[in-house]
Amino acid sequence: MVDVVRDQLARVLQSYERRDVALALDVWRKDQEIDALNTGLFRELLTFMMEDPRNITFCTHMLFCAKNIERIGDHATNIAETVYYIVQGSELKEERPKADITSREPLPLPS
């Protein structure tokens, strides 16, 4: 996830520097990939915590790290929206694609 976010950040800064709307839109759309990676990691860490309570502290720290990295991706997406506005003079008409469902789905119950 870190590599994807780092790439997104570099690409969105290039789009800003070049006023490249196509690149900005590509970054904007790719935010879904970061959200999906974060959701997958969330589920994996939750499983580790349910399997062995001794994992809870470590996994909780990892969850906070992952969420902060995901937020960097969101900031890159915000920059992409700004690049679009600077170049086009209007806001994007589409709603931002989101794949982060961790706050919308109920947590699985331990079996």
Top-confidence residue, 110 or 33? 33
Per-residue pLDDT of 2-35, as tens digits, reads: 999 999 999 999 999 999 999 999 999 999 999 9
* Domains of the chain, residue spans: 2-88
- Is domain 2-88 classified as CATH 1.20.58.220? yes
Residue with tokens 């690049």: 83
Per-residue pLDDT of 55-91, as tens digits, reads: 999 999 999 999 999 999 999 999 999 999 999 999 9
Instruction: Return the C-alpha torsion angle 68, 74, 80, 83, nearest 10.
Output: -80
- Tell me the whole-structure pTM to 2 decimals: 0.80
- φ/ψ region of 90 (left if φ > 0, alpha if ψ in -120 to 50, else beta) reads beta
Nearest to residue 16, comparing CAs of 75, 61, 57, 66?
A: 75
Give the Cβ contact number of residue 55 at 10 Å: 15
